[in-house]
């Protein structure tokens, strides 16, 4: 027991006990959603630490003062609770609930249990920052399409011994849309790499897609899949992926873009704008297709094909506000700096 603890009034002990329960319950709701709903073990660890720290402050003297039968507020509900239909609403409500309870602990614990008051204050301030990360994580899970609309730079990976470090540098710089592309690796290697990158992207609240392979996207719980013209038809991919994940499609002419829209794709790639070793033998489509897509496409489109910082202005002048790149980041001497320069040129906020 804390040496400074006194027991001035049973009412204060009951108040502290009730708010310790309230704060710990709120933290547990958040922790379980991060564990089972978001699969964000980094957030789980942070919440568990706060909850356990608070649990160590929940002294037997507080629990002994508990008397639920005489608590006139026990079991009371509010109509607002019935309106919490989305996970993000539950997260916001329980973060607020925990923060309010922590403030009560801070105020009423100051006289009799200063250690509790200090810990409650520290946890409350930590939870303010953590709540922002939680809301962003919920947005990534429930609003993939809204997040896609905010993305103007799309990183597509290529095989590299520094794959993880390169993607991490791009994410740190502010990239929030990544596609894993590995044509030659065997399935086990692809699965390991995709799983690691998916977890990395999740820690930054970034969208993660898999090239071609719907099965691999499902196996690693990716945010979606990108399909070429020779891959599984989007309608079949949608049946497997469900309604919430993203589907992108490569297109080389306006007829293919129209078909992708009709098939329910969430975005399209437009290109290749220039000749590129990523698509050997593919005839570049030039800027005319960018202009056509800008005039007609009702869904986001990403210009792709040999693009880098020096080749952005003509694409932007043609109406292309979003670009997908490979070598401009993966082969840069400083992937983070290259990502920041591209993001700045595209006007995307990090």
- Determine which one of 24, 144, 238, 279 is catalytic: 279
Concerning whether 68 is annotated as a catalytic residue, the answer is no
Under 8 Å between Cβ of 14 and 65: yes
Per-residue pLDDT at 86? 67
Confidence bin at 276 (pLDDT 50/70/90): confident
Domains and CATH numbers, the chain: 10-142 (1.20.1260), 144-346 (3.20.20.70)
Concerning whether 279 is annotated as a catalytic residue, the answer is yes
Confidence bin at 81 (pLDDT 50/70/90): very low
CA distances (Å), 201 to each of 75, 161, 176, 195, 350, in order? 41, 18, 8, 10, 14
Of 104, 101, 7, nearest in space to 63 by CA: 7
Concerning whether 83 is annotated as a catalytic residue, the answer is no
- Looking at residues 3-22, what average pLDDT do you find? 80
134 membership: H or E segment, kind and range: helix 114-142
Under 8 Å between Cβ of 102 and 123: yes
- Determine which one of 181, 198, 213, 340 is catalytic: 181
The pTM of this model reads: 0.62
Structure tokens at 245: 């994940």
Structure tokens at 340: 């920041």
Q: How many residues does the chain have?
A: 350
Per-residue pLDDT at 1? 45
Per-residue pLDDT at 78? 44
Number of C-alpha atoms within 13 angstroms, CB side, residue 265?
Answer: 27
What value does the mean pLDDT of the chain take?
88
């Amino acid at each position: 027991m804390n040496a400074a603890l006194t027991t001035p009034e049973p009412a204060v002990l009951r108040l502290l006990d009730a708010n310790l329960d309230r704060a710990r319950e709120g933290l547990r709701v958040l922790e379980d959603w991060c564990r089972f709903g978001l699969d964000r073990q980094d957030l789980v660890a942070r919440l568990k630490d706060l909850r356990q720290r608070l649990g160590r402050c929940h002294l037997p003297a507080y629990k002994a003062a508990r008397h639920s039968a005489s608590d006139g507020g026990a079991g009371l509900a509010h109509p607002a609770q019935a309106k919490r239909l989305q996970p993000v609403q539950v997260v916001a409500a329980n973060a607020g609930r925990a923060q309010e309870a922590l403030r009560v602990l801070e105020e009423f614990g100051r006289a009799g249990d200063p250690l509790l008051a200090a810990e409650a204050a520290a946890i409350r301030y930590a939870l303010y920052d953590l709540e922002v990360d939680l809301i962003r994580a919920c947005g990534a899970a429930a609003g993939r399409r809204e997040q896609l609309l905010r993305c103007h730079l799309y990183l597509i990976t290529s095989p590299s011994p520094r794959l993880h470090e390169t993607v991490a540098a791009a994410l740190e710089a502010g990239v929030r849309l990544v596609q894993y592309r590995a044509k030659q690796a065997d399935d086990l290697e692809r699965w390991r790499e995709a799983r690691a990158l998916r977890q990395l992207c999740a820690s930054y609240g970034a969208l993660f897609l898999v090239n071609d392979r719907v099965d691999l996207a499902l196996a690693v719980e990716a945010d979606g899949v990108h399909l070429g013209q020779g891959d599984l038809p989007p309608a079949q991919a949608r049946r497997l992926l469900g309604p919430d994940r993203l589907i992108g499609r490569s297109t080389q002419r306006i007829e293919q873009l129209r078909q992708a829209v009709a098939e329910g794709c969430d975005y399209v790639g437009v290109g290749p704008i220039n000749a590129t070793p990523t698509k050997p033998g593919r005839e570049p489509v030039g800027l005319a297709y960018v202009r056509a897509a800008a005039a007609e496409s009702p869904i986001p489109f990403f210009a792709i094909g040999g693009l880098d910082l020096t080749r952005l202005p003509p694409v932007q002048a043609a109406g292309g506000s979003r670009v997908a790149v490979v070598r401009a980041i993966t082969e840069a001497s400083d992937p983070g700096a290259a990502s920041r320069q591209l993001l700045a040129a595209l006007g995307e906020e990090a």
